[in-house]
Amino acid sequence: MDLTFADILKTIILGVVEGLTEWLPISSTGHMILVDEFIKLDVSKNFMDMFLVVIQLGAILAVVAMNFERLNPFSDFKTKLQRQQTFQLWYKVIIACIPAAVIGLLFNDYMEENFMTAKVVAGALIFYGIVFIVVENFNRYRIPKINSLERLDYKTALIIGLFQVLSLVPGTSRSGSTIIGGILFGTSRVVAAEFTFFLAIPVMFGASFLKLVKFGFNFNSAELIILILGMVTAFIVSILSITFLLRYIKKNDFTIFGWYRIVLGIIVIGWLIFIGDPV
């Protein structure tokens, strides 16, 4: 495979899309599938299936870089209590990861074969867009019971993890499903979003490792450049995306993302009906 300027440009576009959509509740996988329908990299299907998952490592590393001290239980700058709280945060993250890890391992191949399509993405975008609007209307006059990660109990963490299972369907949004679960069960928007960020770390490291093992690490030079470039782009854009989201939700709710999902889903359905599947 010869790497062309067009391949480099397409890879950067995919990295930007991943970095923007991984943390906003609009489904990064769904957007990547839709963009891939129109922007075709000159790579094998096996590589592309792996790339669409592993590129998310770039986004995850942005969370690690931005919160390294906060996530490090061995930091010399923390008191004994702060170290204990950091360990407890990781315990909650691990517990919340279990449901999606189990279901994902059992049904991953089936999901890839049957659900990785524009039609499924469009349906999920619209359905969960409506859910976001309904949840935010329901939540408008409620006072959150959990306003910090330290107050997040193990039961609520597990419930959020159960909501994460919904995101196995492309177009749902991992961050969207867990944020909805957090809000419904008493967390503030900021706590729901932050816990979602940290929950993504083991989930995406695990998913990426499995994809790399399945692919076999058999990269040619062009494929390796594409993968690294996509991850680096996603890393840089993710820092901007995370910063924006945390600032935005301090004064606003998620309703606008619900409407965005609905509009995008309708556009995709209209495209499929009147123009047909992209080639």
Looking at residue 1, what is its pLDDT? 63
Looking at residue 89, what is its pLDDT? 96
**DSSP characters over 214-275:** HHTS---HHHHHHHHHHHHHHHHHHHHHHHHHHHHTTT--SHHHHHHHHHHHHHHHHHHHHT
Tens of pLDDT, residue by residue over 100-126, are 888 887 887 787 777 878 888 899 999
Question: Which amino acid is it at 129?
Answer: G
Q: Region 247-267: what's the mean pLDDT?
A: 93
Listed residue (26, 21, 23, 37) closest to 125, CA to CA:
26
The whole-model pTM stands at 0.87
Kindly tell me if the per-residue pLDDT of 273 is higher than 90: no
Kindly tell me if the per-residue pLDDT of 279 is higher than 50: no
- Does residue 272 or residue 278 have the better pLDDT? 272
Tens of pLDDT, residue by residue over 223-243, are 999 999 999 999 999 999 999
- Does residue 212 or residue 154 have the better pLDDT? 154
How far, in Å, CA of 209 to CA of 227, rounded? 14
Tens of pLDDT, residue by residue over 168-195, are 888 888 899 999 999 999 999 999 999 9
Average pLDDT, the chain: 90
Q: Region 263-273: what's the mean pLDDT?
A: 89
How far, in Å, CA of 68 to CA of 74, rounded? 11
Listed residue (136, 151, 141, 150) closest to 183, CA to CA:
136
